[in-house]
Structure 1
Amino acid sequence: MSNLKPDSVIACLDCPDHVQAVLDASMWASNRLQAPIGLLHAVPSLQQKAAINYSGCLNIDDENILLDNFTTHEHQGNSELKAQGQLLLHQAAAYCEQSLHKRKIYSLHRHASLSESIDYVDEKSQLIVLGHHVTCKSTLSQLIRPSLCPILVTHTPFMPPKSALFAFDNRATSHKMLNWLCKTPLVRALSIHIVMVGKENAENCDALREAYARLKQSGIHCKKKLLDCRDVRAALHYYQNEHDIGLLMSGAFGQSRLRELLQGSNTERLLGTTKTPYLLFPKA
């Protein structure tokens, strides 16, 4: 992994069903951030019981590089797993080049778990892109919670968004994301709806108004809305569907662990139910 380039967009190719979506999302982000793409493949454990079949995970024209035999069998050795990973990385690079992607593309092939691999690239990257259904034993929450880097989780297919919903809750992670949104070119061209779910009181109204003003001062086209509702997940999804918003954004795990234990985590609920790409800003 010594070839890791700073400020890259890291495309995690761990999920066969989402490889193409992850690459499409990574190219979208790379163009906006003017950043190279690091194609990350973490070789699955030999102890992994379920077979992982990458055959047909990408639509490319070169029929000589098909992944018909790209299946992890129970008795395969490390060398076979490594060869399969290199084949996947080769085809992923070919897909990006065929899509006329202009930014630099390079491969990161690790014989380690996905969580360990993400931990390695975390501090030096601009953005990490994950498929919604990861194949490793870790859940999305377990991968995202310790991250220092913004993470984009995508379903398949990835559709470039024209607008985004920023779920603002006035917690520390929301303010960190607000600071980042005011500076990053990633979503600058999008129309941003800053939405707060909570009681319509002076504190919430003032916090939302100030956050909205900061986005406007940064040159971002945005709208604001306070939704007086108890169910945060339902309110955000309803608003997103009503306004046909293609990207959800929020701070990640802004509640205390005790409150999460007692009330559950809004981040986990949104991760489990959102049907659009979801951009999360880390708590760390």
Structure 2
Amino acid sequence: MSNVIACIDGSSAMAAVVESAAWASSRLTAPLTLLHVIEEGHASARQDMTGNIGLGSREKLLEELAELDAKKGKLLLEHGHQLLDEAKRQVLEKSQVTDVAMRQRHGELVESLLALEHETRLLVMGTHGEDHGDGSHIGSQLETVLRRVHKPILLTPDTFAEPQSVMLAYDGSASTKKGIELLAKSPLFSGLPVHVVMVGAESDTNKATLEWARDALQQGGHQVETAIVAGDVEPALHQYQDNNDIGMMVMGAYGHSKIRQFLVGSTTTAMIEASKTPLLILR
């Protein structure tokens, strides 16, 4: 059975990641897996400091470095276990989710996620990692994850509140039409009002594709609002979200339209950093 997988680390977003993952697990009735990855760069303290010292001293230094690596590895392992235990306690105490597994892996984060992709229904991550504690920048590996992991990814800022409504950044493309179908059918959004928002001109073509989206969502039992807004993609979408007090945004990744292009490079960073609510990325 496909799992909701929550990436756990020591960042300030950890509690919010756990809360949002538990929310998603409950609504999807899917098992929750708490994942902590010990990356190789963090596990090894060894550096080349042996260049111009004698053979005996070099051997002694290498032994000491090996001991230091082993100690650091054990500390990181123990720290990871503590993080996972705390996350599981939070899930069991603050949600109705009872099917919770804990996993710890060594290696690169992206490779670990790809190895688990076949059993992933939804991936939940913070918008910044342990090395970005002030929350002003997204995690350094997040763009790589967005490019390589082909499962829906729920990005969560430092606080999480259950969304009472959701909006889809829509452009009429095949990718965002799949987003409409997901919104219409997924229990993740069951009962939530849906706003479908386009950035562009109020053309007959745009109005027609919005009507299709409205009909599809209404058939799925949703209350639907549609809108076409002008301006640059990021500020226009967030302004609409703020004006309508919408608790979650959904968008597709990559392509050639204005909306999908912002998941590349600096616009990706701007969009995610500006998000005050969870952001669900569809692949």
Give the counterpart of 1:197 among 184, 199, 218: 199
1:122 corresponds, among 101, 110, 117, to 117
Q: Considering only aligned residues, what root-mean-square deviation do their CA atoms show, in Å?
A: 2.7
**Equivalent pair of 1:151/1:280 in contact (CA under 8 Å):** yes
SS of residue matched to 2:40? coil
Distance in 1 (CA, whole Å) between partners of 2:92 and 2:117 is 25
Give distance in 2, aligned partners of 1:89 and 1:135.
15
Task: State yes or no: 1:91 paired with 2:86.
Answer: yes
Report if the CA contact (8 A) 2:169-2:249 is conserved.
yes
Which residue of 1 is the match for residue 26 of structure 2? 31
Q: Deviations along 1:20-55, whole A, 9 cap, x unmatched?
A: 1001001111110001110000013345799xxxxx
Matched, 1:213 2:208: no
Say whether the 8 Å CA contact 2:10–2:83 is kept in structure 1.
Answer: no
**How far, CA to CA, are the matches of 2:256 and 2:269 in structure 1?**
11
Q: State the Cα deviation string for residues 78-100 of structure 1 (Å, max 9, x = none).
A: 23222221121112111211224
Aligned to 1:13: 8
CA distance in 1, matches of 2:217, 2:203: 22
- The one-letter code of the counterpart of 1:150 is P
The Cα of 1:135 is off from its aligned counterpart by 3.6
Q: Are 2:97 and 1:102 equivalent residues in the alignment?
A: yes
Shift of 1:239: 0.6
What is residue 244 of structure 2 aligned with on the other side?
A: 243
- Cα separation, 2, equivalents of 1:200 and 1:267: 25
* 2:178 aligned with 1:183: no
Long gaps (5+) in structure 1: 1-5, 51-72
Structure 2 segments unaligned to the other structure (5+ residues)? 46-67, 132-138
Structure 2 CA distance for aligned equivalents of residues 47 and 96 of structure 1: 27
Aligned counterparts of 1:199 and 1:74: Cα–Cα separation in 2: 59
TM-score by length of 2: 0.81
Greater Cα radius of gyration, structure 1 or 2? 2
Aligned to 1:186, the other structure's residue is in SS state helix
Q: Which residue of 1 aligns with 2:57?
A: none
Contact 1:31–1:103 (8 Å) recurs in 2: no
Aligned partners of 2:202, 2:76: CA distance in 1, in Å?
Answer: 55
Counterpart of 2:58 in structure 1 is: none
Match of 1:145, SS state, is helix
- For 1:147, the aligned partner's letter is V
Matched with 1:141 is 143
Partner of 2:166: 164
Q: How many residues align?
A: 252
Query: Is the CA contact (8 Å cut-off) linking 2:12 and 2:130 kept in structure 1?
Result: no
- Seq. identity, %: 34
Deviations for 1:211-241, whole angstroms, at most 9, x for unmatched residues? 11101111111111111x2311111111111
TM-score of the superposition, structure 1-length normalised? 0.81
User: Are residues 47 and 126 of structure 1, via their aligned partners in 2, closer, same or farther at CA, if it must alter by over 3 Å?
Assistant: closer
The question of whether the paired residues in 1 share the 8 Å contact of 2:247 and 2:278 is answered with yes
Letter in 1 for 2:73: N
Is 1:271 aligned to 2:261, yes or no? no
- Could you tell me whether the CA contact under 8 Å between 2:121 and 2:151 is conserved in 1? yes
CA distance in 1, matches of 2:154, 2:176: 16
Deviation at 1:266, TM superposition (A): 5.2
Aligned match of 1:234: 235
* Structure 2 counterpart of 1:18, one-letter code: A
Q: Distance in 2 between matches of 1:131 and 1:33?
A: 20
What's the CA shift for 1:101?
2.8
Give the aligned residue type for 1:275: K
SS in 2 for 1:204: helix
